[in-house]
Structure formats: structure tokens, C-alpha cells
Chain A
Amino acid sequence: MTAVAETTPRSAEKYRVTRSRRNVAWTGLGALVVVVVLALFPYIVGAGTETILVQAFIILTLASMWNLLAGYAGLVSVGQQAFVGLGAYFVLILNIHNLSMFTALPIAAIGCGVAALPMWWLVARLRSGYFAIATWVLATTVLLIIEKFPSIGGGTGLSLPHTPSLSSAVLEAYTYWIGLAVTVLALLGVYLLLRSRLGLVLTAVRDDEVAARSSGARVGVARMLVFVVAGIGCGAAGALLAVSQLIVQPSAVFSVQWTAEMAFVVIIGGLGTIEGPILGTIVYMVLQQTLQSYNVWYLIILGLVAMVIAIFARRGLWGLIDEHLHVRLFPVGYWLWDPAINGRSRGLGLGRRRGGKHS
């Protein structure tokens, strides 16, 4: 008996696989323009705006890292504030030993990456809920331990002792530029990471962990790498915080509020998309500026909006935009072009988050 053949004649050559839907050179150019414009800001705008933007840089960096953890690696961490705090304290300690705070920043970031390793060892085997709580407990434990050392300020905190003797405008400008650099590097790093093999592994795990493992993907290593990278990123943000505030207080830098803000920004902007954190940060800054005088209101509203979006619009604001306009600023997936589908070519986008299961 022969099987009934079922072929509709299709020429295999007519299929195309590309990394993006349209020419990404335009987006790259656009991004470059944005960065250059931002870099020129200190010559254009006042110190007040710079400070606000530095805040935005910190949040954006943190958000990209949390997005990497939760949206791509499936690791919901409620303890990233540990790295924020550690980053700040590394800067403080290095500064106490006469290192310029600007030079200290990258070292602090690396230091946090190193610190992430023993922390990962502690929490690696835990499932999602336990993982979340364990990271929280870890962060609190780190805080309690650090508070015991009076030489770095104990429970009350300490100002950076060796600040550079520059005019406040120039200091502000340098802080701004280094903040811009941190953010650009963070976004670029995340983008390249997700375009790489690692990104493919993560997406596979996100969709079906068992299948990913059985096809040979080194899931544990991938997750550890992500955790370390997130540690570096959050550490850099914490270091930036120290540089911009010139003072490091334990209750401020280790506050769980950082995780809250990171998480809300990502959820609102779009979990599992690179563009999401950018959009979310914009929303956050707008909210924060308009509700400034109302203290905790912005956090309440942010939280409520995040909850609603988490339930009803899982891919956040960017997800809504993406669905209707099919725009990808940061192409990390693949598009399959099927010539048999006429009219408006709709590629089948792979490598982005489906609304599937996620445990």
C-alpha cells in the first residue's frame, strides 16, 4: 500500500527567513540619532532635567534587567535590590579607598556580577514562588549584614568621601553621560544577548522547558548567565545611584521598592519584549513627575495599572502596539515569509513570546 501523497506544488526557494520584518538599518540609525541627541543634552538643558534623566536611566537599566530575568529566563526575582545596594556600596567602599567614583562604577558592576555567583548557587534549584521569596530573603540578609559595619555607615549610611572637585554643573554632566553610557550598554547588551544562541535557548525554555532540555539546551547555564548579567546590570544601576546621590543609605539602596518599580515598569511596558522597558520607563517618569507632590500615589497607580495589565494585556503596552502595527524596533526573532500568502505579507514571527504557559 502506498501512502496518499499530499502535495500542493510549492517551490522551496520562495520561502525566505529574515531576522527582521523591515530594514533594521533604519531603526539602528534612529537609535544612533537618539543617543547622539541625548548626549548633547548637557549643553542644551539645565541641571534639573539632567537629574530627572539620570533617574530615568537608572530605572530603564533596572527594568531591562528585570525583563531579561522574568520575561526571558522565567526567573521572577523580588530581590534585585540586593544588587542595587551592592553596586552602591562597592562604589562607596572603593571611594573610601581613594578611587574616583566614576572609575569605581564599572568595577562595582563587575563586582556585583561576581557576587551573583554564590547567590545563584543558593537559589538556583528553587521553583518560581520559592525563588522569588528566596531572593527577597537574600536581599534582606545582605542588607542586615551590611548594616553591621560602621565603617561604611552602619544603619544610617555614609556620604561619598572623595568626590571630584568639579563645579556642580560639570559633575552633573559627567554623571549624566556615564548614566547614558550605562543605559545604552545595558540595552545593547540585552539585545545582543537575546540575538545570540543564548537568546534562542531562553526562548525555547520559555516555550517548553522539557523539550528544550531534551534537545540539548544547557538550560541551567543559560539561566545562570542571565542571573549574572542581571546582577551586573542592576549593580551598575546601583553604582549610578551612588554617583548621582553622592550618599549611600542602606534602607534606601536596599529597598524592595526598587524591585517594585522595576517590575511595574516592565509589566506595563511589556514583559518579554525589549522595547517594553523603554515604554514603561516613559510611563513611569511621566507619572512620577505629574504626581510628584502626591508622594506615594504614583506607586499606587503604577501598581494598580501593572496588575490590570498583567491580567488583561500580558504583553503590556508594547504588546498592544506590536499587535496592531507589527513593529519591532529590536529584532531578535526570525520572520518567515510565505509567498503563498497573498496581499499584505504577514511574516510568521518566531522567537517572541506567545501567550502560552509560563510557570
Chain B
Amino acid sequence: MVWVNDVIQGILVGGLYALFACGLSLMFGVMKVINLAHGDLAIIGGYIAVGVIAVTHIPVLWSFVIVVPLMAVLGYVLQRTVIQAALDRSILTTLLVTFGLSVVIENALLEFVNANSHSLGVNDAIITSSFSIGSQISIAYLLLLIFVVAVVVLTGLQYFLSRSRYGRMIRAVADDREAAQLSGIDYRHVFGIAAAIAFATVALAGIAYGMYSQFSPTTGTDTILLFAFAAVVIGGLGSLWGTLLGGVVLGVSQAIGAQISGSDEFLAGYIVFLAVLVLRPQGLIARRATS
């Protein structure tokens, strides 16, 4: 029965993974950019939060309010400048540039901060406490909260994309950039908005990760990027709910892997990822639209 507890943990942590993944999915869906620095951006969000808290001593949960909008702006600027410049060359260039960005960010963090792990809010009661269902199941409030937040964010994003004017513009640009231009839409601006959303969600996820676990400069690529990618691939590109499903599948396989052998937690996830890549590259949920 101890399995049940772990599986539930796996499902809940899948929400966090989905939150990591949706920004990646958005950037790829809209502009065909694979941002290899995506995980590092989550870590940057975490580090900024650490810094902000150290300076202002605000409660951890308030750090979101400052960091998330900040990262959104950073995303817009980075997209309009560096990433757009790389996009104008080719997709290959965007891969190279985002890879370079990732390495630069990590090493800069190693240089200017240190290599130690950081965590957020270890002393806050709400973050560390948990509740129990029956004798076997113990769920951390934090994890449940993260899952709820993830579902809310994903729902909100889905609503934004399908109902709002900007959401329509984003979908139009994703379908056909040139045709969107012919309708008067500046696609570079729309790309910027998409990047802003991606950066904001990944920063949110990064701070949440910092509360749930700990991060160091290399966590971005070691852990987060691969998880985000795995969630996107398993769930299928082009669907935010697929991303949630992918996150959950990843979380559950990791939980099961941890049960089999303590050190196999990540390995299990990667194997599932590779299996999906080979057997069904379009993911478990078929794509909604051709890209």
C-alpha cells in the first residue's frame, strides 16, 4: 500500500512538471524555438527570489509577485532581441544560441553565486507541513498547493489562448506567420508575448521547485529541462492538458522507479521518455493542429 502514497506524490509532482513544461511547449508551438536554456530560466527565477527575500525579508509566498512579472519582462526583451535575431538566421541558430545561453547562465551562476544548493522557505510552516489520509497516505500541503496552482495556471492559459483576442493572435501566428502579417499582426510582438508567458510560468515553477526541493546552478539542465521536455513529449505537443498528463505520467514513473530502487528515480523517467520518443513521437495525446 505504500505504493499508493508514492503514486499520489507522483501525480501531484506532475503538476509541477507540467508547469515547467508549458512554457517550453508554448515557445515551440508558437515560434518553433526549442529553448535549451528553459530549465536555467527556472533556476534564475529561484535565485532572484532568494535575492529578493534576502534583501527585503518578505515572506516567501510574496516573492512570486515580484519575480514572475520581472521574468515576464525579461522574456519579452530577450525574445525581441537575442532569440529573434537567432530565429531570423535559422532554427539551427536558435538551438545553438539557447544552448550557449544555458551554458553561460549556469557558469555565471557558479561564478557569482556559489555551487551550493539553495532552498526557499524552509522555515515556513505552511511549506513543510503535511496532512494525512488514513495511515498510509501523507500529503504535503505544499505539493497539493503546487498541483492546484498548476491546474489553475494551465486552465487560465488555455482560456486565454482560446478565448481572448491576444490568444487568437498567438494561435494565428503559430499556424501561419505570414498570413498573420497579412492581417496586420506584427508577429515579432506576438512572439515576445509568448516568450513573456513562457518565462513567467517557468519562473513560477522554479520558485515552487525551490520550496519543494532545492536547486543549484546546474539543476536547470540536470533536472528541470529534461523533465520539462519529457512532459511535453510524453503528453504531446500542442496541448496544454497533454502537458499535464505528460507531467503526471513522468511523476508517476519516477515514483515507481524510486520504489524499485532508490537511485533509479530519474532513470525510470528517462526510459519512459525515450520509449515514447521511439514509439509515439507525437506524444500520448495526438496533436490538435499541424504545426
A residues contacting B by CB (< 8 A) are 70, 74, 76, 78, 122-123, 125-126, 128-130, 132-134, 136-138, 140-141, 144-145, 148, 256-257, 260, 263-264, 267, 295-297, 299-300, 303-304, 306-307, 310-311, 314, 357-359
Contact in complex: B270, A137 (CB < 8 Å)? yes
- Judge whether A260 and B103 touch: CB under 8 Å: yes
Beyond A132-B95, A263-B96, A310-B97, whether A141 also contacts B270 by CB under 8 A is: yes
Instruction: Tell me, in angstroms, the Cα distance from A129 to B108 when the chains sit together.
Output: 25
- Seed contacts A145-B267, A358-B90, A359-B92; 7 additional CB < 8 Å A-B pairs: A128-B34, A144-B266, A296-B110, A297-B107, A310-B100, A311-B85, A311-B89
Contacts A296-B110, A300-B107 given: A134-B92 contact, CB under 8 Å? no
24 A-B pairs within 8 Å (CB atoms) are namely A74-B92, A78-B36, A122-B277, A129-B32, A129-B34, A132-B36, A133-B34, A257-B103, A263-B96, A264-B100, A295-B111, A296-B108, A297-B107, A299-B104, A300-B104, A303-B100, A303-B103, A306-B96, A307-B100, A307-B101, A310-B93, A310-B97, A311-B97, A357-B90
| Closest partner residue, chain A, to B84 (CB atom) | A311
Which residues of chain A come closer than 8 Å to B99, judged between CB atoms? 78, 132, 260, 263
- A304 contacts B110, CB within 8 Å? no
Which residues of A have CB within 8 Å of B101?
Answer: 303, 307
**Do residues B100 and A132 form an inter-chain contact, with CB atoms below 8 A?**
no
Q: Which residues of B contact A132 (CB under 8 A)?
A: 34, 36, 95, 99
Identify B226's interface contact among A130, A140, A267, A304, CB under 8 A. Answer: A140
Cβ-based interface call for B53 (8 A): no
Interface centre among A134, A296, A299 (most CB of B within 10 A): A296
What's the A-B contact tally at a CB cutoff of 8 Å? 121
For the complex of A and B, the 3 pairs showing the least CB-CB separation, nearest first, are A129-B34, A303-B104, A307-B100
Chain B nearest CB, measured from A135 CB (Å): 11
Cross-chain contact A307 with B82 (CB below 8 angstroms): yes
Q: Please, how many residues of chain B have a CB less than 8 angstroms from a CB on the other chain?
A: 40
Docked-complex contact A300 and B111, CB < 8 angstroms: yes
CB distance from B258 to the nearest CB of A (A): 13
A133 near B107 (CB under 8 angstroms)?
A: no
Q: Which residues of A contact B230 (CB under 8 A)?
A: 137
Verify if B79 is at the interface (C-beta below 8 Å from A).
no
CB–CB A122/B96 < 8 A: no
B91-A358 in contact (CB<8A)? yes
For residue B274, CB closer than 8 A to chain A, the reply is: yes
CB distance from B4 to the nearest CB of A (A): 27
CB contacts (< 8 Å) of B67 on chain A: these are none
| B271 contacts A by Cβ under 8 Å | yes
- When the two chains form their complex, are residues A122 and B92 in contact, meaning their CB atoms are under 8 A apart? no
**Could you tell me the distance between the alpha carbons of A137 and B263 in the complex, rounded to whole angstroms?**
17
Report the Cα distance A125→B97, complex, angstroms.
24
| Chain A nearest Cβ from B217, distance in angstroms | 10
- Cross-chain contact A76 with B274 (CB below 8 angstroms): no
Taking CB as reference atom, which chain A residue is nearest B33? A129
Is the CB–CB distance between A122 and B100 below 8 Å?
no
Decide: A144 near B28, CB < 8 A? Known: A76-B92, A78-B36, A306-B100.
no
Q: How far, in angstroms, from A303 to B96 measured CA to CA in the complex?
A: 10
Q: How far is the CB of A82 from chain B (nearest CB, A)?
A: 13
A297 touches B111 (CB 8 A): yes
Closest Cβ of chain B to A115, distance in Å, is: 15
From the candidates A126, A141, A256, A260, name the one contacting B281 in the complex (CB within 8 A).
Answer: A126
Which B108-127 residues have C-beta < 8 A from chain A? Answer: 108, 110-111
Query: Could you tell me if B86 and A128 are in contact, using CB atoms closer than 8 angstroms?
Result: no
| Bound Cα distance from A141 to B110, whole angstroms | 25
Docked Cα-Cα span, A123 to B274, in Å, equals 9
In the complex, A296 Cα to B273 Cα: how many Å?
32
Residues of A within 8 A of B264 (CB): 144
* Known A267-B96, A311-B93: A300·B273 in contact at CB below 8 Å: no
- Tell yes or no: B41 within 8 A of A by CB: no
Residues on A with beta carbons closer than 8 Å to the beta carbon of B89 = 310-311, 314
CB distance from A219 to the nearest CB of B (A): 17
When distances are taken between beta carbons in the complex, the residues of chain B under 8 Å from A306 are 96, 100
User: If the complex has contacts A76-B92, A129-B34, A136-B226, are A307 and B97 also in contact, measured as CB distance less than 8 A?
Assistant: yes
| Closest Cβ neighbor of A359 among chain B residues | B91
- Quick one: given A129-B28, A358-B90, are A299 and B103 in contact (CB under 8 Å)? yes
What B residues does A304 contact at CB under 8 A?
A: 100, 104
Asked whether B233 is an interface residue with its Cβ less than 8 Å from the other chain, the reply is yes
Q: Counting CB contacts under 8 A, is B1 at the interface?
A: no
Residues in A neighbouring B226, C-beta threshold 8 A? 133, 136-137, 140
Given A137-B273, A307-B97, does the pair A300, B267 have CB atoms closer than 8 Å?
A: no
- Report the bound CA distance from A264 to B278 in whole Å: 29
Distance in angstroms between the alpha carbons of A336 and B265 in the assembled complex: 59
- Closest Cβ of chain B: how far from A113's Cβ, in Å? 21
Distance (Å) between the CB of A78 and the closest chain B CB?
Answer: 7
Among A130, A137, A148, A304, max chain B CB count under 10 A is at A137
- Cβ-based interface call for B229 (8 A): yes
Q: How far apart are the CA atoms of A138 and B226 in the complex, in Å?
A: 11
Within the complex, the shortest CB–CB distance from B56 to chain A, in Å, comes to 29
Residue of B nearest to A78 (CB): B99
Query: What is the bound-complex CA distance between A76 and B100, given in angstroms?
Result: 13
